[in-house]
């Protein structure tokens, strides 16, 4: 924090900043350069996937997940300590403590742990694609949950047969796997339609994206014969491969994690390539990008459409998991939560968004226990107010508001952010 206080002016000029490596004077050498926390996490993800496959039929228990969680956290913690990347180290410590708490204090069931992993994987896709637009290109978009909703509804409409179309309307029907891609494409098309807002800059682009978000969720509600309005589309199918149905959370995990890894890998390849450096240039200094012959408007349009595609895919996976396409899941509040994930994890780092999504799921789970906590305190100090269980939504919103505010105040670059937000 000492460096933050000394030169806020120099840092706010869009300068590249690696806060955690400021103190490292020489480039890392030997094994430290090879074994990075990011690679350990990826390796851990692959390991988890392979190791858990045999257990998918019901033999795998939450203890395994906690153990693996703990091992990975300790590994990342050790490497982060050696490399003096304190932000990441703090995060690993946080995950370690929480995973132990989860298992031994809160006593979550295996089914529930699997549910959290599925949700986290979907959120990782969303946060990664939003990071490509916010963290790399500087398009501060609050319309992402809207594109997720479009993808989810497109998928639900394409695959579900329980809808009642009006007489004369065509009944759409597609098999499961193409529908996921089509859902992403539909979201892209919607992003292309609203793309005139990309002409705006700064505050007014943010405003326009919020308006897009509000409009999309209202259209979903209002377009009744297509989307069932507030009645929601029910019984959206789960995927089936060669007769193997991913019908429980523990099995669905084996579907959602690979999809997440594929999506995040594609996004990573995009943003860590020369193309990604063009995006970073556009964020930091559009005139420079223009002067080296890049069509800034077209690149921004492409980024907006590509990120909408991934949001649509994530929406399709999510709606397939919860099996209900309900309008109330795709509101502007959720868009803000996605933005918080990106900012919390660290904008401009592809891994940051994944960390942000994991942190989001973890912290939200902890917040769910606040009512119980107040009851516990109340039993000792009777003056302490008890928050009833149905107020959890309000508590969650409050927590995230406070967290985002203090993040903006004290660490605008998030956990492992590459640069400080302006």
The CB-of-393 to another protein minimum distance in angstroms stands at 6
Least distance to another protein, CB of residue 336, Å: 6
Of 127 and 208, which CB lies nearer to another protein in the complex structure?
Answer: 208
Measure the CA angle with vertex 133, ends 130 and 136; round to 5°. Answer: 115
Least distance between another protein and beta carbon 210 (Å):
5
**Where on the chain is the footprint of another protein (CB under 8 A)?**
8-9, 11-12, 140, 194, 196-197, 199-204, 206-208, 210-212, 214-215, 218-219, 221-222, 332-333, 336, 339, 343, 387, 391, 393-405, 407-409, 412, 421-422
Would you state the structure tokens that stand for residue 190, as one six-digit string? 């919607």
Which tokens in the block code for residue 243? 């007769």
- Give the separation between CA 120 and CA 98, rounded to whole angstroms: 15
Which alpha helices (H) appear in 223-331, and where do they start and end? 224-227, 249-271, 274-284, 286-291, 296-322
Closer by beta carbon to another protein, 101 or else 366: 366
φ, ψ for residue 58 (rounded to 5)? 125, -5
Identify which of residues 292 and 409 has a Cβ nearer to another protein in the complex. 409
Nearer CB in complex with another protein: 75/210: 210
- For another protein, give the closer residue by CB, 71 or 402: 402
Q: How far apart are CA 152 and CA 318, in angstroms?
A: 7
Q: How far apart are alpha carbons 309 and 326 in whole angstroms?
A: 20
Report CA dihedral (30, 33, 38, 42) to the nearest 10 degrees: -50
Nearer to another protein, 266 or 404 (CB): 404
Shortest CB 202 distance to another protein, Å: 4
The residue among 161, 177, 153 whose CA lies nearest residue 240 is: 177
Shortest Cβ 406–another protein spacing (Å) = 8
- 388 sits in which H/E element: none
Q: From the CB of 320, what's the least distance to another protein, in Å?
A: 26
233 phi and psi angles, rounded to 5 deg: -95, 125
Q: Please tell me the distance from the alpha carbon of residue 49 to that of residue 258, in angstroms, as a whole number.
A: 8
């Amino acid at each position: 924090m000492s460096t933050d206080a000394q030169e806020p002016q120099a840092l706010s000029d869009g300068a590249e900043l690696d806060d955690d490596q400021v103190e490292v004077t020489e480039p890392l050498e030997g094994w430290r350069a090879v074994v990075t926390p990011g690679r350990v996490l990826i390796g851990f993800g692959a390991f988890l996937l392979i190791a858990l496959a045999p257990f998918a039929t019901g033999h795998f228990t939450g203890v395994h997940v906690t153990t693996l969680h703990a091992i990975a956290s300790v590994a990342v913690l050790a490497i982060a300590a050696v490399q003096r990347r304190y932000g990441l180290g703090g995060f690993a410590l946080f995950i370690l403590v929480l995973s132990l708490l989860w298992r031994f204090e809160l006593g979550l069931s295996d089914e529930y742990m699997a549910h959290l992993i599925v949700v986290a994987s979907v959120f990782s896709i969303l946060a990664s694609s939003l990071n490509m637009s916010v963290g790399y290109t500087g398009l501060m978009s609050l319309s992402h949950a809207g594109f997720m909703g479009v993808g989810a509804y497109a998928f639900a409409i394409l695959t579900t047969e329980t809808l009642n179309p009006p007489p004369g309307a065509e009944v759409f029907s597609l098999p499961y796997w193409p529908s996921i891609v089509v859902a992403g494409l539909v979201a892209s098309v919607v992003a292309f339609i609203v793309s005139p807002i990309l002409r705006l800059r700064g505050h007014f682009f943010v405003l326009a994206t919020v308006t897009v978000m509000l409009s999309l969720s209202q259209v979903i509600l209002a377009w009744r014969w297509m989307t069932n309005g507030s009645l929601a589309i029910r019984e959206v199918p789960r995927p089936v491969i060669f007769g193997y149905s991913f019908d429980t959370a523990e099995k669905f995990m084996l579907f959602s994690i690979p999809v997440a890894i594929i999506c995040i890998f594609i996004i990573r390849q995009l943003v860590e390539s020369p193309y990604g450096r063009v995006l970073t240039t556009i964020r930091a200094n559009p005139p420079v990008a223009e002067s080296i012959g890049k069509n800034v408007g077209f690149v921004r349009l492409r980024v907006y459409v590509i990120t909408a595609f991934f949001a649509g895919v994530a929406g399709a996976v999510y709606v397939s998991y919860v099996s209900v396409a309900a309008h109330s899941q795709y509101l502007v509040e959720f868009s803000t939560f996605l933005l918080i994930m990106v900012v919390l994890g660290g904008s401009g780092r592809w891994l940051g968004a994944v960390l942000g999504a994991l942190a989001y799921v973890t912290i939200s789970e902890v917040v769910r226990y606040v009512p119980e906590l107040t009851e516990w305190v109340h039993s000792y100090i009777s003056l302490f107010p008890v928050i009833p269980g149905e107020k959890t939504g309000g508590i969650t919103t409050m927590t995230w508001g406070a967290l985002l505010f203090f993040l903006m105040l004290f660490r605008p670059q998030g956990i492992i952010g590459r640069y400080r937000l302006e």
